[in-house]
Structure 1
């Protein structure tokens, strides 16, 4: 059991005490620490496509959780940045690490019989390739990317699709995310929205969204989410 104390209001803590049959995770900033790779890939892509000037990486970070082409549209940047960004992301994938405690969390949830899925702003093939490289792919029943649903986050489509594939009703699932878009997508699908604060995300905007619970370490989830009473 974690020595960390899960945070949130009394009401939000109670909201997540009901057991869940499924946990849906965002990928970057929740399962894997890819921030450094993401930064280098963006800087390289910007230099190749746009050229001189200061790459607006801080602004890019404010949109994390969204699908890369959607971020480019919001920022008014050329969609051509996607090709070198993806190329560099693959090239540097060996530098991506798993957050401390995540492997143990996934193992514990799997032992409980909890069904697991990924719903990420990445493309599906890139997400599955990265998880396979890190030895985590086998933990997940399904890995969904933003290119595999009609509308990317913050729309609920990717979470709804995960629920459909998992065959779990929204009320028996939670989603763990580190971005406002993750929380919005979860809530749009009727799923309890839990904020993860162990990555690079700013705490203030996430707390302002009043998530159902706030986790400061991966294994805090085990304290807030008891195992189902009946074995699966």
Structure 2
């Protein structure tokens, strides 16, 4: 039985995926590269250290990778005040913690962004630990961040809760099952093909079904 719940933050607990996609779109446009926003959206959830090559190729990464990531950060900074927590995020975290799970909020985001999001959901009051981009060398879909999250609370078995295919792939590489929430805009088929063991529409739906899935530990 799992003793740790690892929650992705961006796109799962706070509604950021489309801001991220638009920030990347504007970052590429600064360098006269125009990519379809839908294609960028499909890469959201992947860390910025891997996204540029994934969507634009190794040559663009080699020439412009660091400049693009700096531009993305500047663009996203200008949008961050439009980000809101998803309905039921704080209540879900409290319920999972009350059931006896060690609770980790796992993000590969910039420290300043993560801190802002934690404030939106009251994360520092309920979570046992959290991560930022400073905690792992390689971001999703590498498993590093998931493994760091588990180690931070000295957990032995975990359940991942995420919104993107990259969450499920990264957790799968660490032999951790994923419950996927469709808040990131990915389809049921995409999420299950990436390895999610269950897919729900929203955080309130996940909370309502806690007794029927991997987070079904009895309330203590």
Q: When the two structures are superposed, what TM-score results if normalisation uses the length of structure 1?
A: 0.79
Unaligned runs of 5+ in 1: 1-17
Structure 1 residue 145: deviation in Å? 2.6
Which of 198, 217, 220 is 1:227 aligned to?
Answer: 217
Structure 1 residue 201: deviation in Å? 1.8
Alpha-carbon contact 1:156-1:188 (below 8 Å) kept: yes
1:50-129 map, 5 Å: 50-51=31-32, 54-74=34-54, 75-76=56-57, 77=60, 78-79=64-65, 80-129=67-116
Greater relative contact order (CA < 8 Å, ≥ 6 in sequence): 1
1:31 maps onto 2:13 in alignment: yes
Runs of 4 or more consecutive aligned structure 1 residues displaced over 4 Å after TM superposition: none
1:1-232 map, 5 Å: 18=1, 20-48=2-30, 50-51=31-32, 54-74=34-54, 75-76=56-57, 77=60, 78-79=64-65, 80-170=67-157, 173-218=158-203, 219-223=207-211, 224=213, 225-228=215-218, 231=220
* Residues in 2 aligned to 1:167 and 1:153: alpha-carbon distance in whole angstroms: 21
* Residues in 1 aligned to 2:20 and 2:72: alpha-carbon distance in whole angstroms: 8
Change (3 A) 1:159 1:88: same
* Residues in 2 aligned to 1:63 and 1:146: alpha-carbon distance in whole angstroms: 17
Q: How many residues align?
A: 208
Q: When the two structures are superposed, what TM-score results if normalisation uses the length of structure 2?
A: 0.83
Unaligned runs of 5+ in 2: none
Structure with higher helix content? 2
